[in-house]
Structures are given as C-alpha cells and as structure tokens.
C-alpha cells in the first residue's frame, strides 16, 4: 500500500479501480517546419478542434454546452490567435507556440484573484490543449469508461466532463487543478469525491487498474489499500450514506440559536438553473448571484434585452424567496470581449468592481437600467456593489442610479423602484468606514474571500500562501464585528457570502459576532445546517 495526501476538493469516500490519464506523456520529437506551413497546420488544427467540441456539445448537458461553446468562441479570439501566430513567426513550432500562448493567457487570468475567471482559465487551457493534441497527433479519447473507476489524471478539464459517463466516475484524483476549477465545482455539486494536488508519482502507469481508497474530506489516497484500510472505508461509507439520508430530512428545518434567533441559510449561485436547484434543495434565499456570468455566457449577453431576460429569469427561479444580485465584479487583465481594459501590474488592487464605472459608465448604466426594469416587472430584489473602498465611489454610483431611474420614470419604462441596495464589505477600508457607508444602503454582505486575502496579504488562490489565509483570523473577525455593529446601529441586515460561511467553525464565530444570514455553495447547505442545529440544541 502507498499513501498520498492531497488537497480535499470535494467531500466523499469511495473505493474503486484506478484509471490513469496523463496528457503529459508525449513519446515523440517535434519537427518545426517553415512558418507558413506551421501556420497552416495551426489553422487546420483549430478547425478540427472546433468540430470536435461542437460534436461534444450535441450530447452535453446545458451547463456543459455553455462551457464548450465558450471554448469555440475562444479559439476564434483575435488576441489569442495573434499571440500564437507571432510566436510562429519567430520560428517556433505551432504546438509549442500554442503552449506558450496558453501559459501566458491562463497565468494572466489566474493571477487576477477572481475565482470565476480562474475557472475560465481552465476552459481556455482545455480548448488549447485539444489544439496541441491534434498538432502532436495524440489520442484525445481518454475518458471512455466501461466500469466504475476513480480517474487519476494530471488535470480534469471541462471537455473531459462532457464525455465522462457519470455512473462510472466514482471519484477524481489530480496532480494539478485547484479547488475552484470546473471539475471540482461539478464534483461538489454531484457529490463526487475529489482530491487535487497529489504527488505526480500517482500517475505511474503501473498504478492503472489497482484499487484505490480515497477520502475527499481529508485528501488521503491509499493505492492498493490493505484489508484493514478497506474495511475502515466500507464502514465509513456506510455511515456517510446514513448521514446523507438524515441531512435530507433537514431540508425545511430552520436553524435557531440557543436564544431562539433564526439563522438563515442562503445559496450562492451563477444563473437561473443554479437558483432553481438551490431553492428546491432548501435554500431560504439566494445571497449572491454573480452577474459577471454575462461576460462568459453563451445563453445571455451584455445587451439591455438580454440582461433583462437574465435578471427576470433569476428572480422567477427564486420563487418569491429573497434574491441578491451582485453588480459586475470584473477588472483589468481579463480577456473580456468588447472591454478595453488597460493591463495593470497588480489587478487585484487595481481598477475592478465599482471602480470600473469611471472608465466604463455605459456598461454600468445599462446594468442599472436592466436591474430596475427587471425588479419593476418581476418583484423586489437586492442589488449589492462589490469592491467598495471609499465613500465617494458609493456616492458617485448612486448618482448614476438616480440619473438612470429618473429617465426611466420619465419615459414610463418603470413605475416603481423595487430594488433594495447594499454593498459588499470585502476590503478592510469598507469595514473600517462601515458606519459611514451604512448611510447609503439597506444591507451589508461580507465577502470573506477577498476580505481575508486583503487583511492578511495572502492571495486566496496561491497555495504557497495558504497557511496565512484564515477567514477566522482575529483581524478578520474584528472587522466583521465592526461591520455588524455598524449595521445594527442603522438597522441594516448583514450576511456573510464568502466560502467560509460553509465552514462550521468560522460560521460559529460569525454567528457569535451577530451575523444572522450565511450564504454558501448549495451542496454545503444541509451539512452546515445539521451541524449548527446540533450545536445550538446542545447549549
């Protein structure tokens, strides 16, 4: 038996045979031709790659169709193509030119510090890896499963998920990837165990077909487990099943503190389908809808009619429950179509979120109009503004809101202002001046992901800084406590919508400091609800 320990990415326990998939094994020597021939090979590979992706789309779920269609669009991206062709002009072979461009492009997106765009980096890598495989003549049908197995790979990409037979995929173990990539997000949604960041030794072809026991909660992986380990896993899996059945019974249960105060459990979502699923799974409301999905979606776009359709569908999917939509949380150094954003040396500290309204006023005015119209037609909504640091930004934003609102009333486009406005507290300065900011809004939503990384100077997607990234750190908690006090003074509702809301120990701290609403990934709702109910019942 050999034990590995990686990073837990999706909770769960499983025992099955290993299926090894390693894209990094080339087994050949590349020959570089004249630039015009390499360009021709590249263009032909792109055409074939797009055809293959479109074929995958025919049998993919709606979620995967959007992901795959985005890949087709990216293969036609002018900036990306020019980057590749310029490399070929420098006597670099087509396959290597695509590799170099892929690394540069994806590094830009990952270094921004936005988890959604970090996911999209995985999509771009997926599309370009397909082009490289075609140029290198590698087999691309790696994920055909005929029996239950645990996939062990260098990385699971979005197109892999489109062809994997889910009934045979018992778990994912990867050397690369991250907690936030699409494979692990979908694994968490479907309850499939996943561990990433495992030592590359596990990709040894000799492991193919061996039994493996994996624990998605702890990140432990046992290749060729002993009888004792196997027995322990069978016992734990039996207990896990019983626990899952018990949690389903809590779908409509309400969490109350020992003093009888209700703790609302909300869900963070991306689109109407996510929202409908969350409500069906017991979410009491939707604490975060990421509107920047519109920049990447193939179902919707940034036009006024399409935005209105997106917001109205989100509102209807919530079925009368409270819903909070975050305004565009975008910034520099992101490949967003139709936005000319200047490259910045440190985009996480640059022109992002609400700050972007000064250089992109029409983008923000259109969104405000779409939100006002949608709320007027379909029902009251909460709208929150990200990346607030100074009072002037909020004052200027609401001046814009008033201008748009006045015009819509004058035109007869809307008959009421049906929006409850709020801001995200995700920067130290916003927490420190929360009492001043409270005068402008009706609620606060604390984004602990960014707040933690800014307070502790620890990039939340940098694994090397992970030991410093702690949402329960006293400095972070002190700012949360300060924010709650400001909210209470002005009668504002306050919630936490960061990932730490689903962490039991952090959630207890937040509740102790006065937070009464926790918004999280929907697959975490029942587990956190169960633990909180047990905790308060014991007091």
Q: Which positions are catalytic?
A: 182, 497
Q: Rounded distance, CA 533 to CA 520, Å? A: 17
Which structure tokens are listed for 135? Answer: 């140029």
- At 258, give phi and psi (nearest 5°): -60, -25
Q: How far is CA 155 from CA 127, 271, 372, in A?
A: 14, 26, 42
CB contact at 8 A, 326 and 288: yes
Q: Rounded distance, CA 150 to CA 193, Å? A: 9
Residue 444's DSSP bridge partners are 423, 494
Rg of the chain in Å (alpha carbons): 24
Closest listed residue to residue 359, CA positions, set 350, 372, 368 = 350
Helices (H), 222-271: 227-248
CB contact at 8 A, 479 and 515: no
| Three-state secondary structure readout of 441-504 | CCEEEECHHHHHHHHHCCCCCCHHHHHHCCCCCHHHHHHHHHHHHHHHHCCCEEEECCHHHHCH
Q: Rounded distance, CA 500 to CA 262, Å? A: 19
Closest listed residue to residue 424, CA positions, set 400, 401, 451 = 451
Q: Rounded distance, CA 517 to CA 487, Å? A: 13
Which structure tokens are listed for 111? Answer: 């270094």
- At 170, give phi and psi (nearest 5°): -90, -15
| Three-state secondary structure readout of 289-355 | EEHHHHHCCCCCCCCHHHHHHHHHHHHHHCCCCEEEEECCCCECCCCCCCCCCCCCCCHHHCCEHHH
């Amino acid at each position: 038996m050999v034990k590995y320990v990686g990073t837990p990415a999706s909770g769960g326990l499983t025992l099955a045979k290993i299926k090894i998939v390693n894209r990094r094994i080339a087994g050949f020597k590349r020959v570089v031709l004249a630039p015009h021939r390499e360009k021709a090979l590249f263009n032909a590979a792109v055409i074939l790659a797009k055809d293959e992706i479109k074929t995958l789309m025919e049998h993919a779920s709606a979620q995967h169709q959007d992901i795959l269609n985005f890949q087709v669009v990216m293969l036609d991206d002018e900036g990306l193509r020019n980057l590749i062709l310029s490399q070929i002009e420098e006597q670099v072979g087509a396959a290597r030119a695509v590799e170099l461009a892929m690394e540069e492009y994806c590094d830009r997106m990952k270094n921004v510090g936005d988890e959604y765009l970090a996911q999209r980096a995985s999509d771009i890598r997926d599309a370009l890896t397909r082009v490289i495989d075609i140029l290198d003549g590698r087999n691309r049908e790696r994920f055909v499963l005929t029996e239950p197995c645990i996939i062990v790979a260098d990385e699971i990409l979005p197109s892999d998920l489109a062809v994997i037979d889910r009934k045979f995929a018992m778990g994912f173990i990867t050397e690369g990837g991250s907690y936030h990539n699409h494979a692990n997000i979908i694994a968490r949604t479907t309850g499939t165990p996943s561990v990433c960041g495992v030592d590359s030794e596990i990709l040894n072809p000799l492991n193919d077909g061996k039994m493996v026991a994996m624990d998605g909660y702890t990140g432990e992986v046992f290749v060729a487990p002993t009888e004792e380990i196997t027995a322990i896993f069978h016992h734990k899996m039996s207990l896990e099943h019983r626990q899952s059945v018990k949690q389903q019974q809590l779908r409509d249960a309400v969490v109350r503190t020992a003093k009888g105060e209700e703790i609302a459990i909300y869900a963070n979502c991306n689109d109407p389908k996510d929202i409908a699923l969350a409500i069906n799974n017991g979410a009491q409301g939707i604490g975060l809808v990421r509107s920047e999905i519109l920049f990447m979606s193939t179902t919707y776009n940034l036009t006024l009619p399409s935005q209105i359709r997106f917001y109205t569908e989100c509102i209807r999917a919530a079925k009368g429950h409270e819903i909070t939509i975050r305004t565009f949380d975008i910034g520099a150094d992101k490949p967003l179509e139709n936005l000319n954003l200047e490259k910045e040396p440190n985009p996480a500290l640059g022109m992002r979120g609400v700050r972007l309204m000064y250089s992109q006023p029409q983008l923000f005015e259109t969104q405000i109009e779409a939100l006002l119209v949608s709320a007027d037609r379909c029902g009251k909504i909460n709208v929150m503004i990200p990346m607030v640091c100074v009072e002037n930004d909020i004052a200027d934003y609401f001046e814009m809101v008033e201008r748009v609102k006045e015009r819509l009333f004058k035109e007869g486009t809307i008959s009421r202002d049906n929006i409850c406005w709020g801001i995200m507290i995700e920067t130290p300065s916003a927490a420190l001046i929360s009492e001043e900011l409270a005068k402008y809004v009706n609620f606060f939503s604390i984004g602990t992901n960014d707040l933690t990384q800014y307070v502790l100077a620890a990039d939340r997607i940098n694994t090397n800084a992970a030991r410093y990234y702690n949402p329960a750190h006293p400095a972070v908690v002190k700012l949360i406590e300060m924010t709650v006090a400001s909210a209470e003074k002005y009668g504002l509702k306050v919630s936490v919508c960061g990932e730490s809301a689903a962490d039991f120990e952090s959630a207890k701290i937040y509740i102790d400091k006065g937070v009464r609403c926790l918004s999280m990934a929907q697959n975490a709702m029942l587990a956190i609800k169960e633990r909180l109910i047990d905790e308060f019942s014991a007091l």
